[in-house]
Chains A and B, each alone.
Chain A
Amino acid sequence: EVQLVESGGGLVQPGGSLRLSCVASGFTFSNYWMRWIRQAPGKGLEWVANIKPDGSEKYYVDSVKGRFTISRDNTKNSLSLQMSSLRAEDTAVYYCARDTGTFDYWGQGTPVTVSS
């Protein structure tokens, strides 16, 4: 059974940092692109970043470029999102998802709140 389990969310002040993690199981993690997708309260879905299976290519939505870094450790079946210089508009539930073009498996999400 495919499982994605996120952790690391929480309350952080504007300008602060946070590191999200996603641990995968039930499939060969190193064969798949992975993606972070977020959802602001009461809003729709927005992709944040994605990463190639070997980690050699990474892409970001413009609003997080230079502030967020996606990475992966295929030896630990884990995906990470290092977030810095956080802003109120980064407040959202962050999901990791397996990226096959469609997003066929999602984690349960981890909430991030940026507020003073």
Chain B
Amino acid sequence: ENVLTQSPGTLSLSPGERAILSCRASQSVYNNNLAWYQQKPGQAPRLLISGASSRATGIPDRFSGSGSGTDFTLTISRLESEDFAVYYCQQYGSLPRTFGQGTKLEIK
């Protein structure tokens, strides 16, 4: 299976700063079928990005995804208070679908 490794495990930043989250796959992700999700405490995950770079409906443009092959990045250009959460990447280029272990974005 395609193992996804996210880094860092925890990222401590202040509102207004830029966040860069990484997701590395053990094998190339077919067709760059890589998604990002945001999860806040007590809530279900929410789809942010699909196809490595396409924002889901209603997702603010401060969220952007990039990358290809085995290396992908989620960038949040200017952090707002509601962005502090856990972020997961997920690949859907091969079976089984797999998730990364998550990056916790916390307020510094």
The answer to whether residues A106 and B101 also contact, given A44-B88, A47-B96, A101-B92 and a CB cut-off of 8 A, is: no
Contacts of A107 in B (CB 8 A): 44
B90 interface residue per 8 A CB criterion: yes
A interface SS class: strand
Q: CA–CA, A104 to B37, complex, Å?
A: 9
Q: Looking at the complex, which one of A61, A95, A101, A104 makes contact with B56 (CB distance below 8 Å)?
A: A104
Contacts of A45 in B (CB 8 A): 37, 45, 88, 90, 99, 102
The answer to whether residues A106 and B92 also contact, given A44-B101, A46-B99 and a CB cut-off of 8 A, is: no
B35 interface residue per 8 A CB criterion: yes
B interface SS class: loop
What's the nearest-Cβ distance from chain A to residue B95, in Å?
8
Q: Does A103 lie within 8 Å of B56, measured CB to CB?
A: no
Per the CB 8 Å criterion, the residue count for chain A at the interface is 15
What's the nearest-Cβ distance from chain A to residue B62, in Å?
20
What's the nearest-Cβ distance from chain A to residue B83, in Å?
19
Q: Does B99 lie within 8 Å of A108, measured CB to CB?
A: no
Greatest chain B CB density within 10 A among A95, A101, A102, A106 is at A102
User: Which residues of B does A touch, CB under 8 Å?
Assistant: 33, 35, 37, 43-47, 50, 56, 88, 90, 92, 96-97, 99-102
User: Which residues of A does B touch, CB under 8 Å?
Assistant: 44-47, 59, 61, 95, 101-104, 106-109
